Chains A and B, each alone.
Chain A
Amino acid sequence: MATAMPADVRPAEQEQGEEQDIEPAVKRVPPQAGQQPNYSFYVEPFKLEERPRRFLEAFAAILRQSNYGPVLDTYCRVGAKCSVCTASCPVYQVTHDPSDIPCNRSELLLKVYRRYFTLAGNLKSRLFDYFRLTNEHINTLTESVWRCTACKRCKYSCPMGIDHALVTHLARWILAEIGIVPKALVVSVRQQLEGQTHNTSGIPVPALKDTCEFLEEELEEVYPGAGISFPFDVEGCEYVFFPAVSDYLMEADTLMGNAAMLHATGTSWTIGTGNFDGIDYGLFYSDAMWERIIKAQVAEVHRLGGKSMLIGECGHASRSAKEGMAYFIPPEDQVPVVNIMELAYEKFRAGQLILIPDAIEERTTYHDPCNIARKGWIIEQPRAILRHICQDFVEMEPHGCDNYCCGGGGGMVSIDEIREFRTLVGGKTKAEQIKATGAHYVVTPCANCKKQIDEVIKDHGLPQVRTGLHDLMLKAIVLPNGQEPILQEEED
């Protein structure tokens, strides 16, 4: 089974000394001639011959067919090199390596653009011994763009509004076209698009149904006699449900909370057996894959005659669906994309979702997933619910659209071989933030953040318990008949 989220495949947790040397996990070993470069993550074997030429061909093809050219053009002109972004990048703040400065990272690609796709670069190269694209440069670019968590904090700290995440996004696509993609991501996408199960975790439909039956039994213990169910392939529903498929393997409580909320509010929803995975790793490395995946998801919504796409607790799945819908789906086929927290909040505000006030005694904090918070999409909705159900809700600083990434964004969390880099470098600030709250629960409504924060908590030896929003709501949802949940013993 090809799984994108091999949560438990890590060997026993490593001893983390207090004086942990935060030397980045990335080790740049110069490859011998004719030898596969040794990146800090696994890459499937790719063609080594004429890489610069093939990189430029891919770059040229993408520029011709897409919108990136004008963007790079403007960025080349306006970059003021003011260094404000250094104060916002969680990776640079830990490594203090100039190559991790967002502006320098973007420059790696802009340099290639300037040299090969602008008149000035062309002239310069004729007059002087100007920059030339080499294998080494491609290797440097590869390492650099896969150290970025695409959290987009730098975009909002750039006076010129340069979106370094967009440049990284493009660089990853070009690299993907010449075969350089972290293996963990490409294997998942292959399984999703060409595998028999059509999902990144390779869950066959019978196993999915078994899992849901098990969850229904568990829900029966929480709400005896309520008959909360996971409906499959119901046609003409309001919502077709796409959680991150890894939830079915690892986040039972989240899914039970989802089902209980949807049941309590009388929402008409279904899971499509043709496609039930909200994950879209195309967002992280290739527009081509992004488009294919969102199209397959939307096709499932139309097959079932659903009216909206309901995304589970997952940041990147929400953004890739919402934005992908606008970019890649013809307007006549578009359907609204709703995150399950938006729905829960709407129902809660309308009085259709009754939640027991102050049901959670322990101090609780909330981590904003970058993909739904950075542009201000989903910030207040979960907080309104948390403030209602928690006795002691505290914020991390900064939070909301200025939050820090968990360190696992941009697809990084799936790459297990860079765990040290993810948790000790990318996740260091988050660990400090979590620690400072003194909270018991860290709520994060995102499959990626959940796995990453679990590992951050483990690797930094923190006492906190990571949970999802609906996991907590499951302890507070009152069914329309007044039935309250029977609280289960918390498993360690």
Chain B
Amino acid sequence: MPVEQWLEWTRGPLFRFALAVMVLGLIRLVVLNGINLISLVRHSYDKKMPVGVVARDTLRWLFPFTRVPASQRFFTLVSVAFHLCIIIVPIFLAGHILLWQRGLGLSWPAMHQTLADYMTLFAIATGLLLFGKRVSTHLTRSLSRVQDYLLPLIIVTTFASGYLAVHPAVNPAGYDATMLVHALSGDLVLILIPFSKLSHMLLLPISHLVSELGWHLVPEAGTRVARALGKEGEPV
């Protein structure tokens, strides 16, 4: 099969599959977490949802410029820039919107191509910085799992190949091959979202809410645990 056909396949069926996996996977997470949240509230006396606190905490971390320890400020900025770029560019890139229009007839205003170029370069640079930080110190290596190393690399690959594809002057490889890498890695990111830490794009406020509700301890739980373990009435 020639490269063009592979490319059509990754942009067509594979993309639809990846998008479906992402959407269904995120719906699954919403349902599971919804059930979790209901069970958290159901068993405790305090039924109030601390919506205000959670909104405040979530917003604080969407714009984390306060309460970040001085030693972490630089990488906090890097991280925020990285997040902004990788969210905004794929959604508002003119080329992507064209694909949506062709496929589903949906369309929305596109961002300026030059801005998209700069943000793409920024995403690559900040992604590499974050990856570099992770591998460079004993501390961050001790924390990291396989996905922590792979995800930034996959995302950087997507952005780098996308940039090269639309800038043939700096591209050492052919358009089709570059675009194939771009589409494949992009699809992979979509598929990985619900199954990796990327799910925090949806679970961030939920996680804050769970931390608040997690402290709504269940009355009589201690007695029932003792009963289950056959320790009822035992002295302290």
- The A interface, classified by DSSP as helix, strand, loop or mixed, is helix
> Complex: how many Å from CA A212 to CA B57?
46
Pairwise interchain contact A161-B214, C-beta atoms closer than 8 A? no
Q: Which residues of B203-219 have CB atoms within 8 Å of chain A's CB atoms?
A: 203-204, 206-208, 210-211, 213-219
CA distance A162 to B61 in the complex (A): 12
Min distance, Cβ A276 to any Cβ of chain B, angstroms:
19
| List of B residues within 8 angstroms of A290 by Cβ | 217, 222
Please choose the segment from A69-77, A122-130, A237-245 that sits at the chain B interface, where 4 or more of its residues have CB less than 8 A away.
A69-77
Shortest distance between the CB of A323 and any CB in chain B (Å): 7
Interface pair B39/A157, CB less than 8 Å apart = no
User: A147 interface residue, CB < 8 Å from B?
Assistant: no
User: Is B67 in the interface zone, CB < 8 Å from A?
Assistant: yes
CB distance from B141 to the nearest CB of A (A): 9
**Contacts A160-B200, A162-B211 given: A330-B45 contact, CB under 8 Å?**
yes
How many contacts A-B (CB < 8 Å)?
A: 180
Residue B157 CB within 8 A of the other chain: no
Main secondary structure of the interface of B (DSSP, over half): helix
Known: A159-B61, A327-B46. A88 touches B197 (CB 8 A): no
Residue of A nearest to B66 (CB): A402
A195 to chain B, nearest CB (A): 10
Q: How many residues of B contact A (CB 8 A)?
A: 60
Please give me the residue from chain B that is nearest to A99 by CB atom: B142
B37 lies within 8 A of chain A by Cβ: yes
Given A65, A75, A98, A291, which contacts B139 in the complex, CB threshold below 8 Å?
A98
B224 within 8 A of A: yes
Contact A194 B236 (CB under 8 A): yes
Bound state CA distance, A34 and B65, in angstroms?
A: 53
Contact with B along A312-340 (1 / 0, CB 8 A): 00000000000100111111000000000
Q: Which residues of B contact A31 (CB under 8 A)?
A: none
What per-residue 1/0 map shows which CB atoms of A71-112 lie under 8 Å from chain B? 101110111111110111000000010100101100000000
* A292–B222 touching, CB < 8 Å: yes
Type the 1/0 row for A34-45, where 1 means its CB is closer than 8 Å to any CB of B: 000000000000
| B236 and A87 contact, CB distance less than 8 A | no
Chain B residues with CB under 8 A of A331: 45
Q: Which residues of A contact B145 (CB under 8 A)?
A: 81
Q: Give the interface size bracket for A toward B.
A: 35 or more
Which residues of chain A are within 8 angstroms of B218 by Cβ–Cβ distance? Answer: 65-67, 327
B211-A161 in contact (CB<8A): yes
Given contacts A67-B213, A157-B69, contact A74 B36 (CB under 8 A): yes
Set of chain B residues within 8 Å of A425, measured between Cβ atoms: none
Query: Chain A interface: which of B1-9, B86-94, B114-122, B225-233?
Result: B225-233
A residues with a Cβ closer than 8 A to B are 57-58, 61-62, 64-71, 73-75, 77-84, 86-88, 96, 98, 101, 103-104, 155-157, 159-163, 166, 177, 186, 189-190, 193-194, 286-292, 323, 326-331, 402
Q: Point out residues on B near A: beta carbons under 8 Å.
A: 29, 32-33, 36-37, 39-40, 43-46, 57-58, 61, 64, 67-72, 76, 79, 138-140, 142-145, 148, 197, 199-200, 203-204, 206-208, 210-211, 213-226, 228-229, 231, 235-236
- Can you name 6 A-B pairs with beta carbons within 8 Å? A61-B224, A81-B144, A86-B139, A160-B203, A287-B222, A290-B217
6 additional contacts, CB 8 Å, given A74-B36, A83-B143, A86-B139?
Answer: A61-B224, A84-B72, A87-B71, A160-B61, A161-B208, A189-B236
